[in-house]
Structure 1
Amino acid sequence: MNRNINTDIQSDYRPIDGDDDQSTPLLGTMQGGNASFQACVFNMMNAIMGSGILGLAYAMASTGIVGFSILLIVVSSLATYSIHLLLTLCDQTGVSSYEDLGGRAFGKFGKILVAISIIIQNIGAMASYMFILKTEFPASISGFLSPDHTRDVWYEDGTILIILVTVCVVLPLAILPKIGFLGYTSILAFLFMLFFTVVVVLKKWSIPCPLPVNGTLSLYEVSSNLSECTPKLFVLTSQSAYAVPTMAFSFLCHTAVLPIYCELQRPTKKRMQKVTNISIALSFLLYFISALFGYLTFFDKVDSELLLGYDAYLSRDILVMLVRLAILLAVLLTVPLIHFPTRKAVQLLVKGDNPFSWFSHSLTTILLLTIVLLLAIFVPDIRNVYGVVGSTTSTCLLFVFPGLFFLKMSSHPLLSLPAIGAVCLVAIGVLVGLLSLCIIIVSWAQNS
């Protein structure tokens, strides 16, 4: 019988002193999965990158080019460091799941807390992605049809479309027993994101600056304010506070790290750290290029969702329509990858470490996808709900938990460099979480 990643192989506990050989295989005895190094890189990138790439140009406009660059470097470095802590803990305690790390650090309460955080965070993320598909897929399809085509047809009904793609695409991929099998779909998702970045670069020279005051290129009436075309290096406004949470959530992939680690061929901490470094570096590159050229296209008039700007000035442009469809497909292919650790957390809470069962595996998959679909269909403001939940669970999973677990389980003195780094990670996580909550509350107050 094949090894199931939901089965945690326990080994003798070893204190975390940071002196162990990083090339020691995970758990010392596990042979790993069948996922190649390249497949794990693409799975990690797919876990990292999502619809958040659309908001980074707005974040650059809110912070300036240099300010954005500094923040993006800091956030990506912190994400890499927090994953390093998770891998260190995993490698030296002998556990192979995020939930069990919580159990080793804080007992049953820690294990349940991490599992619930993963479930809430990932159900919210999947529902948010499906909500985006429900609202954007019909418009994307209509863009390829003639303006006088028949209205109110089934393929312009967002609810019908997300039910179809869930049954025909998401369910077959989500029900796969191992995360390594998703490597091929993750390659497609990466290519879609790469295509988006290339189009953003190319369209920089299709829209003039200053922007047309009447919002169309066919009746071009240029603004006389040439200062609109001057990029800003540093910006500090009330909108700048939105940048840090946007970047932090753009690098959240921690729930998928350990499942990918378990599926890696010849799993070692050093090898998995290399997977992480390459994935975050490539994601950083696509994030920065798309944000930079998106900002240099629209400057201060960049929209919070970058593609909306192209809709205004390049209506029915074939490349823009294709890239919108590509982003939607990339988001769609991310849902099964997010689903994997969610199902694992649910099964851990319900049935513990019992052996793999196709019945419970399939039942959990169907129930989770049903909940996600119901949220996307019937909750009209799912993105705001997810914002509140995500500002707490996301920052915990990204910053707070790795730092706390390391401080609890490490033998390093509190004033040592690794311990200070963990303390900083926790402090930054709390700060980002509070900042995100405040931003959401202020936004609600302004909208009301």
Structure 2
Amino acid sequence: MTIGSLKPAKEKKSRKGKQVVDEKAPLLPSKQEEDGGFDEFNGASFGGAVFNLSTTIVGAGIMALPATMKVLGLVLGIALIIFMAFLTEASIELLIRFSRAGKTVSYGGVMGEAFGKYGRMLLQICILVNNVGVLVVYMIIIGDVLSGTTSSGIHHAGVLEGWFGMHWWNGRFFVLLVTTLAIFAPLASLKRIDSLRFTSALSVGLAVVFLVITAGITIFKLISGSILMPRLLPDVYDLTSFFNLFTVVPVLVTAYICHYNVHSIDNELEDNKQIKSVVRASLALCSTVYVLTSLFGFLLFGDATLDDVLANFDTDLGISYGSLLSDAVRVSYAAHLMLVFPIVFYPLRLNLNGLLFPLARPLTSDNFRFVLISAGLITLIFLGANFIPSIWDVFQFTGATAAVCIGFILPAAITLRDHHGIATMKDKILCIFMIVLAVFSNLVAIYSDSYSLFKKNASPRE
């Protein structure tokens, strides 16, 4: 995602005659001519782009999807997952269309063209809020899985603690410090998003490992007859249960948020005509993973499914080698989140740079600023995950709101502004629907989170 001047300056021929617009702060030069130590970059492949975009989509949110089936039932829940995939494709298509019309190469460029400097700054702030919150939550989950956590006076042992007992070297702080220095920092130092294609492919593979193990356990228990028939439709019996259906809307609305990385991936493609196919392939892959995870997770745990289904694997699965399989599920998903981290970190760094240094030379050509911003952000996220674990509650408000702005409200606003006069009546009706859905989901999220927080704080005094 490039944040800089909105006016295209020079154009360079690159990669099979493709025109690459060079803005004030380009994503990355096609060649590292100034360094002289790199080979020419011939463009990202279709497969690498699909893996990078898919990794952007599939994060920790997948763990909340089985719980939505508990509320909605399998039929309505799966239908809404598929519907949100189509709505996400439509919003990304609008962004790409207006980018092409304005010859801009970034989400910030499109926002700046439609709403000026303050529109671009609004997007940058939304991405900062969303991505910092997401990365802190990722690191908290990794710490919980590997080192354990204590909630309401009950200690849940981490994988390392279960294997080796309690030691200083498998405590939360040290484990996250090693993870940060050995994994996050090296991967975050890469200047081109296509360089993450292999870790992204591994990340998607680890999510599939989680899915395969869950499916295998579920099928085994189905054959043995120890799983009851799940609820297919929501159980609505009064007004309260009806409104409870809407508490899962924010989870579904934010499940596919990846818009902040679409331009970065598009800019590095060998052929930018492939971006629509990349988006469709990524959404199809992620939808399949989402549907199967929701299906098998809800089948396996039924009405006992927790808001974070990963927590269900702390209990006895009632099968041979259940403890080993539980550890495999938790470790594979912790590793998945480690490899998602740099993909989400990439646009965070670029947008912070654009917000603080809008007129500076490209970030990739200023090593001191690149290292300073990267180190500062990683340190902030590390400290947040270690010393303010309750930050999850904070980002239930700010993260959800910023995410729906990035994914639906701002693309819809760009289309309704219609700076180039290319939006159809169908586009505008769709955009009004997206804004209404996004605003409604935000209100529901704020209400439900406020109510839950109030109950949690009030319960000790009762």
TM interval, short-chain normalised: 0.7 to 0.9
Residues 1:187 and 2:201 aligned together:
yes
For 1:108, the equivalent position in structure 2 comes to: 117
Indicate which of 434, 438, 444 corresponds to 2:447.
Answer: 438
- Check the 8 A contact 2:21/2:105 in 1, yes or no: no
Counterpart amino acid of residue 304 in structure 1: D
Per-residue deviation, residues 339-383 of structure 1 (Å, max 9, x unmatched): 111111111122225233111111110011111111111113011
Distance of aligned partners of 1:308 and 1:128 in 2 relative to their CA distance in 1, 3 Å threshold: closer
Partner SS state of residue 306, structure 2? coil
- Check the 8 A contact 2:415/2:431 in 1, yes or no: yes
Per-residue deviation, residues 180-236 of structure 1 (Å, max 9, x unmatched): 101010001000011111111111144479999xxxxxxxxxxxxx9x544333344
Percent identical: 25
For 1:428, the equivalent position in structure 2 comes to: 437
Superposition TM-score, scaled by structure 2 size: 0.83
Partner SS state of residue 317, structure 1? helix
Distance in 2 separating the partners of 1:241 and 1:273: 31
For 2:153, the equivalent position in structure 1 comes to: none
Distance in 1 separating the partners of 2:160 and 2:366: 44
For 2:178, the equivalent position in structure 1 comes to: 164
Indicate which of 248, 266, 272 corresponds to 2:271.
Answer: 266
Partner SS state of residue 123, structure 2? helix
Distance in 2 separating the partners of 1:122 and 1:287: 21
For 1:247, the equivalent position in structure 2 comes to: 252
Distance of aligned partners of 1:261 and 1:373 in 2 relative to their CA distance in 1, 3 Å threshold: same
Counterpart amino acid of residue 248 in structure 2: A
Partner SS state of residue 250, structure 1? coil
Per-residue deviation, residues 382-406 of structure 1 (Å, max 9, x unmatched): 1111111012111100110000011
Counterpart amino acid of residue 254 in structure 2: F
Q: How much does 1:86 deviate?
A: 1.0
Distance in 2 separating the partners of 1:251 and 1:73: 11
- Check the 8 A contact 1:407/1:419 in 2, yes or no: yes
For 1:335, the equivalent position in structure 2 comes to: 341
Residues 1:312 and 2:325 aligned together:
no
Distance in 1 separating the partners of 2:311 and 2:358: 46
Counterpart amino acid of residue 145 in structure 2: E
Residues 1:128 and 2:137 aligned together:
yes
Distance in 2 separating the partners of 1:369 and 1:156: 21
Counterpart amino acid of residue 396 in structure 2: G
- Check the 8 A contact 2:3/2:109 in 1, yes or no: no
Superposition TM-score, scaled by structure 1 size: 0.86
Counterpart amino acid of residue 337 in structure 2: V
For 1:406, the equivalent position in structure 2 comes to: 415
Distance in 2 separating the partners of 1:146 and 1:444: 31
Q: How much does 1:44 deviate?
A: 0.3
Per-residue deviation, residues 272-302 of structure 1 (Å, max 9, x unmatched): 0110111011100011011111111222222
Distance of aligned partners of 1:296 and 1:146 in 2 relative to their CA distance in 1, 3 Å threshold: closer
Distance of aligned partners of 1:414 and 1:44 in 2 relative to their CA distance in 1, 3 Å threshold: closer
Distance in 1 separating the partners of 2:158 and 2:388: 24
Distance in 2 separating the partners of 1:438 and 1:234: 21
The list of structure 1 runs, each at least 4 consecutive aligned residues, that deviate by more than 2 angstroms after superposition, is 4-12, 24-34, 139-147, 205-212, 228-242, 307-311, 313-317, 409-415
Counterpart amino acid of residue 364 in structure 1: I
Residues 1:72 and 2:75 aligned together:
no
Per-residue deviation, residues 401-436 of structure 1 (Å, max 9, x unmatched): 000011113455987111211222222221111121
Q: Count matched residues.
A: 416
- Check the 8 A contact 1:200/1:294 in 2, yes or no: yes
Distance of aligned partners of 1:364 and 1:415 in 2 relative to their CA distance in 1, 3 Å threshold: closer
More off after superposition, 133-142 vs 86-95: 133-142
Indicate which of 65, 90, 94 corresponds to 1:56.
Answer: 65
Distance of aligned partners of 1:84 and 1:229 in 2 relative to their CA distance in 1, 3 Å threshold: same
Counterpart amino acid of residue 290 in structure 2: Y
Q: How much does 1:244 deviate?
A: 1.5
Matches within 5 A, 1:149-228: 149-151=164-166, 153-207=167-221
Distance in 1 separating the partners of 2:245 and 2:53: 28
For 2:232, the equivalent position in structure 1 comes to: 232
Please provide the CA RMSD for this pair.
2.7
Distance of aligned partners of 1:145 and 1:28 in 2 relative to their CA distance in 1, 3 Å threshold: closer
